[in-house]
Amino acid sequence: MMINTDNDVLAASFDLVARQDAAEEKITGLRSDVDEVKSRLARVSRAAGRPALGTCTAPEVKGFVDHYLRQGRETELKSITGVVPSDGGYAVPREIDALIAREIKEISPIRQLAQVVSVGSGGYRKLIATGGTMSGWVGEVGLRPETDTPDFAEIAPPTGELFANPAASQSMLDDAAFDLEGWLASEIAMEFARAEGSAFIKGTGTNQPLGFLSSPVSLAGDAVRPFGTLQYIGSGDAAGFDTHPDSRLIDLVHTMKAGHRQGAAWVMNSTTLAEVRKLKTPEGAFLWQPGLFDGQPDRLLGYPVVEAEDMPEIGPATFPIAFGNFKAGYLIAERSATTILRDPYTNKPFVHFYATKRVGGQVLDSAAIKLLRIEA
């Protein structure tokens, strides 16, 4: 009997190809499953890395929550950092203070961008060199020439007492399952973030931070503008943007020195952002670019956009858009300790928790923040 060798080889080849295709499909499926598992594990890991608000088990936290916050027993406050009678309250344990600080940073847009320093009761002062040369080059054994006399400006951020006054019913406090420390940290952080978000942008500097929009402004460039004065450019139209908004925004970006542009961001409210998202180049391309990956910020001309609802709306003589390196341009100085006074009398049957914290702020480097003004 004769065997058709060619047919057998051909059939074997088809079978081998089919097996390879099936194997590749299985491998692709397995890779997809592995990627999905990795993604889930990464999310779980990130979640595990964030301390839960209600899991503070340190003795000083438990004593503070169970004895003072729930029952008002001041005699049991031996393990906290200290009593601050002049502020009318008790310094909270560091763990709860850290929870409040993390929550504030997540929801306060300018705090996410600015430079934040912790200070003592004496406040914060810093000298900034505004002119003169304090350095140079010489040979190893050469004479050291006298440098120019530098000019300095003092930075002393205006400070005020930030307060929040959340309330809970006594029945809530009596419920052992109620996550009091988590609820309190979240409520205080929300109120603090709302108040400071407005102050860092348009605060008057009287018993509160001096907002960057409350600083002096000028059309002059960095070389001739007085220290502490922010530069702005006009939008080209008294009611909004002119026919070439891309050139105005590009000009705004390049009024800033290249060193400050590294790490810069746009700041505007959501209404302004809605208008900016509609802007196009003369070729018809949108200026606004959505984030390519989950968690990546949207971009305008290559720089991230941060929404701050306290920025003004588009209107005549307003400053609805800021572009800046706020880490270099704006300073927030705060006393880290938050104090709480328990008040069960003012609004019975509710118990109020009057929380206070001293916070200050002002422009640090006026060359690092630029503004767009709506004008012709």
CA-based nearest residue to 161, from 121, 217, 113 = 121
The pLDDT score that the predictor gives to residue 82 is: 46
**Looking up tokens 């040369």, which residue turns up?**
133
pLDDT tens, residue by residue, 170-214: 888 888 888 888 899 999 999 999 999 999 999 999 999 999 999
Cβ-count burial 207-245 (b if 16+ within 10 Å, e if not):
ebbbbbbbbebeeeeeeebebbebbbbebbbeeebeeeb
CA-based nearest residue to 184, from 19, 374, 339, 7 = 339
pLDDT tens, residue by residue, 315-344: 999 999 999 999 999 999 998 788 899 999
Helix (H, G, I), strand (E, B) or coil at 84: strand
**Single-letter amino acid code for the residue at 306:** V
The pLDDT score that the predictor gives to residue 55 is: 47
Question: Longest C-alpha distance within the chain, in Å?
Answer: 110
The pLDDT score that the predictor gives to residue 13 is: 62
pTM (2 d.p.): 0.75
Please say if the pLDDT value at position 86 is more than 50.
Answer: no
The pLDDT score that the predictor gives to residue 1 is: 46
Assign 148 a pLDDT band (cuts: 50, 70, 90). Answer: low
**Range list for CATH 3.30.2320 in the chain:** 212-330+366-373
The pLDDT score that the predictor gives to residue 7 is: 62
pLDDT tens, residue by residue, 16-70: 666 776 766 676 666 666 666 666 666 555 545 544 444 445 667 777 888 788 8
Please say if the pLDDT value at position 83 is more than 50.
Answer: no
Angle between helices 180-202 and 94-107 (to 10 degrees): 50
The pLDDT score that the predictor gives to residue 369 is: 97
Instruction: For strands 369-373 and 230-234, give the pairing.
Output: parallel
Any alpha helices (H) in 92-224, and if so which ranges? 94-107, 109-113, 170-174, 180-202
Please say if the pLDDT value at position 132 is more than 70.
Answer: no
Token code pair at residue 200: 């860092």
Assign 81 a pLDDT band (cuts: 50, 70, 90). Answer: very low
Please say if the pLDDT value at position 311 is more than 90.
Answer: yes
Assign 4 a pLDDT band (cuts: 50, 70, 90). Answer: low
Contact predicate 212/158, CB 8 Å: no
Instruction: For strands 151-155 and 126-131, give the pairing.
Output: antiparallel
Quick one: DSSP state of residue 372? Answer: E
Section 9-19 average pLDDT: 63
- Quickly name the fold that domain 212-330+366-373 has: hypothetical protein PF0899 fold (3.30.2320)
**Range list for CATH 3.30.2400 in the chain:** 59-130+151-209+332-363
Dist CA 52 CA 54 (whole Å): 6
The pLDDT score that the predictor gives to residue 295 is: 66
- Which value, to the nearest 10 degrees, does the dihedral of the CA atoms of residues 184, 189, 190, 194 take? 150
CA-based nearest residue to 116, from 82, 108, 90 = 108
Residue 114, CA distances (Å) to 212, 229, 338 in order:
11, 18, 20
Question: Mean pLDDT for the chain?
Answer: 82
Token code pair at residue 197: 């978000």
Token code pair at residue 68: 């003072």
The pLDDT score that the predictor gives to residue 123 is: 74
Dist CA 54 CA 205 (whole Å): 36
Residue 248's CB is within 10 A of a number of other CB atoms, namely 18
Mean pLDDT is lowest, of 123-132, 204-213, 235-244, 350-359, for 123-132
The pLDDT score that the predictor gives to residue 38 is: 65
Q: Is 285 exposed, middle or buried (0-12, 13-18, 19+ CB in 10 A)?
A: exposed
- CATH tag, 59-130+151-209+332-363: 3.30.2400
- Which value, to the nearest 10 degrees, does the dihedral of the CA atoms of residues 58, 59, 65, 71 take? 170
The pLDDT score that the predictor gives to residue 56 is: 47
**Looking up tokens 């010489």, which residue turns up?**
138
CA-based nearest residue to 95, from 64, 123, 129, 116 = 64
The pLDDT score that the predictor gives to residue 5 is: 60
Token code pair at residue 167: 């309330």
Instruction: For strands 330-335 and 350-363, give the pairing.
Output: antiparallel
The pLDDT > 90 percentage for the chain reads 43
